[in-house]
């Protein structure tokens, strides 16, 4: 399936994709278990998988570090987290990500991801476009994982 951007305002990014063959819990686990997460997103991950727990995702070759903590944690249903890159300018806002997992009629799971909040400036809208491109790339990688 392909990632679909849902119609929203410029201040929020909402994307949706169907993951055939993934149960909601299995898909959720691919976001919180380092061995599964590193198959499709960061090369390295440290995760305290619980409400309020911290995460640290690392791309060593680029010296990129994404950090935050979990704001919502309902296995197989919702996962929310704060999004902050170490290398971004301090004036950029900390973002929120909320992921909802729902059974799909075809037997897989529908994932809806909300990434927010974005301002009106050109830099903020460039960030929004960059996040959309990033999610498209990484969701394709997640789709191609062999799961059981």
* pLDDT 10s digits, 82-114: 999 998 888 888 999 999 999 998 889 999 999
**Digit-coded pLDDT (tens) for 35-59:** 999 999 999 999 999 999 999 999 9
The C-alpha atoms of residue 19 and residue 27 are separated, in whole angstroms, by: 8
109 forms beta bridges with 19, 103
Q: What are phi and psi of 68, to 5 degrees?
A: 175, -165
All residues at 6 or more sequence positions from 121 whose CB lies less than 8 Å from its CB, including other chains: none
The domains of the chain are located at 29-143
CATH 3.30.1360.70 fits 29-143, yes or no: no
The C-alpha atoms of residue 50 and residue 1 are separated, in whole angstroms, by: 29
What's the pTM value of the predicted model, to 2 decimals? 0.92
């Amino acid at each position: 399936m392909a990632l679909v951007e849902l119609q929203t305002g410029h201040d929020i990014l909402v994307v949706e994709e169907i993951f055939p063959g993934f149960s909601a819990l299995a898909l959720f686990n691919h976001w919180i278990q380092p061995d599964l997460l590193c198959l499709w997103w960061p090369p390295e991950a440290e995760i305290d998988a619980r409400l309020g727990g911290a995460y640290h995702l690392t791309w060593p070759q680029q010296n990129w570090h994404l950090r935050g903590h979990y704001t919502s944690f309902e296995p197989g249903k919702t996962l929310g987290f704060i999004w902050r890159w170490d290398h971004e300018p301090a004036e950029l806002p900390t973002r929120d990500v909320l992921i909802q997992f729902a059974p799909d009629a075809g037997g897989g799971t529908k994932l809806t991801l909300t990434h927010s909040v974005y301002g009106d400036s050109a830099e903020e809208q460039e960030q929004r476009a960059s996040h959309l491109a990033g999610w498209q790339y990484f969701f394709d990688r997640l789709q191609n994982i062999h799961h059981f």
